[in-house]
Amino acid sequence: MSVDHFWTAFAFGPFMNALLIGLSVASIWLIAALGLAIVYGTMGVINMAHGEFVMLGAYSAFVLERYLGVPFLACIPCAFVIVAAIGAVIELGLVRYLYRRPLDTLLATWGLSLVLIQTVRLILGPEPKNIASPEFLNSSVQFWVFSLSLFRLFVIAVTLATFAGTWWLMHRTRVGLMVRAVMQNKEIASAHGIDTGRVYTLTFAYGAGLAGLAGAMFGAIKNVFPDMGSGYIVEAFLVVVVGGVGSLIGSLVSAVGLGEIYSVFAYFTNGTFAKFWLFLLVVVFLRFRPQGLFAESLGRR
């Protein structure tokens, strides 16, 4: 990149397209952030290995498709189930013991992410793999000034469906009611006979499953490689923090907002520069609204 070409002038068609790309970026960040938001909102656990769950989802899809001949569309729900199972095991074996120490959980899950990356690297090798997605998703659609690959539209659709499903699960089912009760007040919930341990295991597994589902799609957009997870984790965290802890709607709004801001910045300058300003903007935002968009206030004593 040369300095002369740094600034892109405004042009209507491409700019509108940048807005559409912003939505696509938002959908990717949202689906990556959703599991994180639920786990953090319910359990107060910052899962630094969330990106590695995404990676595991991508590898699950890869292995299923390459070695077992499962069609790509079927790999996505399978990735959800596989990674959810891994998540449940990890909750029972590690996270469970660290609930009262949020900073330690953060560090332990970071250690876990190292272990997961290296294990995958040792077993499946460091070189990037490809997931073949079905032909019809590889074309792109044109209408008016817009042009977007079908695959990205597909990701937007899956994200919206997952979001709606999660919202329904949390607000319209008994399990969701239990999760929200635990979220509000763990002691009172357990006094009313809710098995908080099980709620935590289920929540963590569900969050991990969502990451796995995201990973199956990301793997098809780009490549599958052992440390691919680190490419999503920071953005996912920012979506959660800006949206407000424990608020699904907040995550949706903040993902769209951040995705659009990023895309517009990136349109005028370039991707990395846009990310720099976006991150800076988030820090400034948190200075004035540390509780995020949709949360009452930080949990004080």
Partner 1 sequence: MNSLYDNRTLQWIVYFVFFAVLAVLPMFIENAFTTNLFSRFIVLGMLALSVSVVWGFGGILSLGQGIAFGLAAYGMGMTMQMQSQDPVNAPIPSFMLTNELTELPALWIPFWHTPTGIALALIVPTIFFGVFGAMMFQARLVGVFVAIVTLAMLSAWYSMAFDMQPYTAGFNGISPPAPLNIAGHAIDPYSHEAYWIVLAFLAALTLGMKLLLSTKFGLVVQAIRDDPERARFLGYSVAGYQVTIFTISGFIAAVAGVLWVMIVQYVSPTALEVQFSVSMVIWAAVGGRMSLLGAIIGAFFVNGIQSYLGDELLYGFLLVLGGLFIVIVRFLPNGLAGLLEMALARIGRSKAPGPDAEPGTPPVAASAAPRSQV
Residue 3 is a binding residue for partner 1 (CB under 8 A): yes
* Span interacting with partner 1, options 59-67, 131-139, 252-260, 267-275, rule CB under 8 A: 267-275
CB of 115 vs partner 1, minimal distance in Å: 4
Residue 122 is a binding residue for partner 1 (CB under 8 A): yes
Per-residue contact string for residues 53-72; x = within reach of partner 1 by CB under 8 A: --------------------
Interface of this chain with partner 1, residues 214 to 233, rule: CB under 8 A: 230
Polymer length of the chain: 301
Cβ-based nearer residue to partner 1, 141 or 234: 234
Residue 280 is a binding residue for partner 1 (CB under 8 A): yes
Q: How far is CA 190 from the centre of its chain?
A: 29
- The rounded distance, in Å, linking the Cα atoms of 214 and 80 is 8
Bridge partners of 85, per DSSP, are: none
Bridge partners of 147, per DSSP, are: 142
CB of 171 vs partner 1, minimal distance in Å: 26
Cβ-based nearer residue to partner 1, 29 or 151: 29
Task: Tell me, by CB under 8 A, how many residues bind partner 1.
Answer: 48
Backbone angles phi, psi at 69, to 5 degrees: 70, 25
- The rounded distance, in Å, linking the Cα atoms of 258 and 24 is 11
Q: Which of 16, 73, 115, 177 binds partner 1 (CB under 8 A)?
A: 115
Cβ-based nearer residue to partner 1, 71 or 197: 197
Residues 191, 195, 197, 200: is their CA dihedral positive or negative? Answer: negative
Those residues with Cβ within 8 angstroms of residue 83's Cβ, 6 or more apart along the chain or in another chain: 53, 56, 57, 60, 208, 209, 211, 212, 213, 215
Q: Count CB atoms within 10 A of the CB of residue 284.
A: 10
Bridge partners of 152, per DSSP, are: none
Cβ-based nearer residue to partner 1, 147 or 230: 230
* Span interacting with partner 1, options 21-29, 105-113, 172-180, 193-201, rule CB under 8 A: 105-113
- The rounded distance, in Å, linking the Cα atoms of 49 and 205 is 13
Judged by the rule CB under 8 A, the positions of this chain that interact with partner 1 are: 1-4, 46, 94, 97-98, 101-104, 106-108, 110-115, 117-119, 121-122, 230, 234, 237-238, 241, 270, 272-273, 275-276, 279-280, 282-284, 286-288, 290, 298, 300-301
